[in-house]
A and B are shown apart, each in its own frame.
Chain A
Amino acid sequence: MSITDLTSMGEPQTEIRKEINDRLCKLQDEISDYCYQCGKCTSGCEAHKLLELEPHKIVALLKRGLIDEMVNSDVIWTCMSCFKCRERCPQKIAPVEVLFALKNMAVASGKQIPGNYTALLQSVLSIGLLQDIKSVTTRDNKTKNRSDIGLPDISKPTDSTKFQMMISKIAIEKV
């Protein structure tokens, strides 16, 4: 027999739900089945007031197996990863980790990564860090950089070829 969500005409994606729950177990988080929708996560969510993220709803949709609509949405990218939901959940569920799983899935499925995550990724690939050394402006409008301030050389991966090889291997890995 079947279950159909009449809004999206979608049916529960049981395999993908299992994949996400397995991933949560692997990282030693509680699976979504135990959620009883108390809403404590959403009541305290730092991203809710501003960006309408509803962590309890994310978990409910996962329970229901309606995953595509979340993976394809923009709202999953509004999470600030403050971890308040994970900290306060009475059933030890971590909506923040479910969101990370959904975001990873969106990226892996070829969806466009929002914002400048791509730039950050590329920087890590080329120099091992999110960004290169910047010049900063002081309060009295002078320009200074790292050596001006008397700090030693920055630490970066010593063999960038080997580092890049490793990164490109991981790029196609899932948890």
Chain B
Amino acid sequence: MGNKIGVFVCHCGINIASTVDVKELVNYARTLDKVIVSKDYKYMCSDVGANLIKDSIKKNKLDGVVIACCSPRMHEHTFRGVVEAGGINAFNLEISNIREQCSWAHDDKDLATSKAKALIRGAVAKARLLEPLETSKIKVVPKALVIGGGISGIQAALDLAEEGHKVYLVEKSPSIGGRMAQLDKTFPTLDCSSCILTPKMMEAANNPNVELLTYSEVASVDGSIGNYSVKIKKKARYVDIDKCTGCGDCIAACRLKDRISSEFDEGMGKRSAIYMPFPQAIPLKCTIDKEHCLQLTRGKCGTGPLCVESCEAGAIDFKQKDEEIEVNVGVIIVATGYDLLDPQSLYEYGYTRSKDVITSLQMERLISSSGPTTGEILRPSNGEKPKSITYILCVGSRDETQCTWCCRIGCMSALKHVYLLKEKLGDDVEINICYTDIRSFGKGYEEFYRNIRGMKTNFFRGRPSEVRNAKDHLSIDIFDTTTNKLFEIKTDLVVLVPALVPRADAEDFARLLRISQSADGFLLEAHPKLRPIDTFTGGIFITGCCQGPKDIQDSVAQSSGAAARAANILSKKELEAEPLISYVEEDLCSGCSTCISVCAYNAIELVKEDDKSHAKVNEALCMGCGACVASCPSGAMQQRGYKDKQLKPMIEETLKK
């Protein structure tokens, strides 16, 4: 209970002082009941300001502090530390927001000052009733979960493993590697993508601290920071991975060989029903596609499944079932990656109306030596080498009707393709690039762009309106704004560079983890500048393209950052729990369970004690959002630091004339 209260009013430079008369506030505060000290300073959040508060507490033996300043979102945490350093409980502090809610919202100095007085009056009324609170401790489970086995997930897992933490790496496809495994070379160094990726994949497989859970998906997430319990569904491969040697005989024998569209090859190639996504897959085990396998869909495969016949190790097991396991982790890192916009959304570009209109990722598969054409560039329509290839950038990007954002990697990927195509098809192949802006912003990117400009590439600054089929080629009209001329391009192969979009299941996935999405659908970071890896949910971090489109180096950097943020938590034995959480006045609770139905964190349960049911709050899970308090019809649910008996006087005092 506050009987000796100190009020500290901040000028915040001119942010508060230019609209509110700070001196008058200081004098006014001194007149309030139980206030014995009232001071002001230009920047209360500075060292000098902090010392002013600490010294005042000690000198006057204060037991309650009111700071009239900016929003508590800015410095409440800091000021709690200051007050504690001054010798009183960190929660005997009340912040009165006279900046965002007063000086920044009004022009009239008299009215604003009078409002600020009311706000301070209310804050003091609450300070008189504040109680000291102790933070309880949460034990931290020293393990991490990384969701997504692309380069982002692999990097985060390796960094955490190196620090000595146990990591579960969950990947929903049969192998780790992600998008990087689909690329041929990376810009701007033209490193072979597999050559730089596979060592990391091998490390992830061999590191004793990393447990790989491939062909697995997260089914549910419960708990909170330091203590998450996650159910993971391990999908049935119908192949015993302890027996499978990865020899591939089954793939060659399969009755559906070369009949099923390959996802890894982006539909440019075919696979069997039993398959390995790519030759360097880790784990190097086969998987049976249960959507297409004849044995699994029809119950019979000819006279008998040919894979079983051909497998010397006897590894095929059609009786396998999905398995669900539960793991306990302290932190979760999300690295689920991206999808490409389906170019059919821009019907005018002829994707699906001609086989020779493909996406940039499909071109990557053609260029790749492990791809469907073993690295030969061939027109899908007739299998011949193209004499002319035209790139259209920004397909669906920077577009108010599709994806409003820039895909960030489109320009550089197209430039990279020019280099590789010239290498494969010879200098004379005609390569046209239709661009709006070339964004070559990174280290070494501008040099790369210069090299491509020197390679007889036809750059057209403009955007085609449509792609038309002609008898044996494609026709594109493009207005080039550099020469102010309309050109007709007759070309053999059109490559569309589509927008990068969040995964199709991003919304469901975000709900599963209780994290938010930004307006564009990518996962939301806590602050775009200063907290680009945290989410608003404690203990869950995001990295790589699931947070927003970016290239490989930015993904790797962000992943190491995520590992560091996660290790921050894992290196502690205990965390301090949020003390401003709800609790139940059991005598008043009727057990109606309304609070349970509104709790977004599953933190309340109904318990039976002495023949009576009442609600009980799980202190480790409660996030202090207050929804239960608002919903409680009897007032039995209260929130520490915001009790009705603390808030009512605050309201009355604030509204007093």
Contact = CB atoms under 8 A, between A and B. Distances in A.
Interface stretch (A20-28, A86-94, A117-125, A151-159): A86-94
A96 to B, nearest CB: 14
Nearest to B481: A39
Contact of A44 (B437, B465, B480): B465
Nearest to A39: B462
B463 A43 contact: yes
Contact of B400 (A40, A43, A90): A90
Interface string B394-408: 100011111000000
B137 to A, nearest CB: 53
A38 B477 contact: no
* B466, B479, B480 interface centre (most CB from chain A within 10 Å): B479
* A30, A36, A39, A54 interface centre (most CB from chain B within 10 Å): A39
A34 B399 CA distance: 11
A56 B464 contact: no
Contacts, number: 61
A133 B210 CA distance: 85
B398 A36 contact: yes
A84 interface: yes
Nearest to A52: B486
Contact of A43 (B401, B437, B478, B484): B478
A56 B481 contact: yes
B479 A36 contact: no
Interface in B449-470: 461-466
Contact of A56 (B394, B398, B399, B479): B479
B398 A43 contact: no
A19 B383 CA distance: 57
Contact of B486 (A36, A43, A92): A43
Contacts of B644: none
A43 B479 contact: yes
A91 B401 CA distance: 8
Given A40-B465, A56-B481, A49 B400 contact: no
A43 B481 contact: no
Nearest to A46: B465
B652 interface: no
A98 interface: no
Contacts of A36: 398, 436-437
B399 A90 contact: yes
Given A48-B486, A54-B479, A39 B400 contact: no
Nearest to B461: A39
A43 B465 contact: yes
Contact of B436 (A38, A49, A54): A38
Contacts of A71: none
A40 B466 CA distance: 9
A49 B465 contact: no
B348 interface: yes
B398 A90 contact: yes
B401 A92 contact: yes
Interface in B425-442: 436-437
A40 B401 CA distance: 14
Contacts of B398: 36, 90
A99 interface: no
Given A36-B398, A38-B394, A90-B399, A43 B348 contact: no
A41 B436 CA distance: 13
Nearest to A37: B481
Interface in B508-523: none
A42 B400 contact: no
Contacts of A44: 348, 464-466, 477
B349 to A, nearest CB: 10
B465 A41 contact: yes
A91 B400 contact: yes
Nearest to A42: B479
Contacts of A37: 481
B465 A84 contact: yes
A90 B401 contact: yes
A56 B484 CA distance: 11
B599 to A, nearest CB: 42
Contacts of A49: 477, 486
A133 B463 CA distance: 45
A44 B436 CA distance: 16
Contacts of B437: 36
B401 A39 contact: no
B341 to A, nearest CB: 13
A92 B400 contact: yes
Contacts of B481: 37, 39, 56
A88 B479 contact: no
A122 B465 CA distance: 38
A63 B481 CA distance: 16
A84 B480 CA distance: 18
Contacts of A45: 465
Contact of A40 (B461, B463, B480): B463
B489 to A, nearest CB: 11
Interface in A60-117: 84, 88, 90-92
A36 B477 CA distance: 19
A171 B426 CA distance: 65
Contact of B348 (A30, A41, A48, A88): A88
B394 A43 contact: no
* B437, B461, B477 interface centre (most CB from chain A within 10 Å): B477
A82 B462 CA distance: 21
Contacts of B479: 39, 42-43, 48, 54, 56
A40 B486 contact: no
Contact of B463 (A39, A48, A54): A39
A43 B477 contact: yes
Contacts of B394: 38, 90
Given A44-B464, A56-B481, 15 more contacts: A36-B436, A36-B437, A39-B461, A39-B480, A40-B463, A42-B479, A43-B463, A43-B465, A43-B478, A44-B466, A44-B477, A54-B479, A90-B398, A90-B463, A91-B399
Q: A-B pairs with the 9 shortest C-beta distances?
A: A44-B465, A39-B462, A90-B399, A40-B463, A42-B479, A38-B463, A43-B465, A43-B479, A39-B479
Interface of B: 348, 394, 398-402, 436-437, 461-466, 477-481, 484, 486
23 contacts: A30-B400, A34-B400, A36-B437, A38-B394, A38-B462, A39-B461, A39-B463, A39-B478, A39-B481, A40-B462, A40-B463, A40-B465, A42-B462, A42-B479, A43-B463, A43-B486, A48-B479, A49-B477, A49-B486, A54-B479, A56-B481, A90-B401, A90-B463
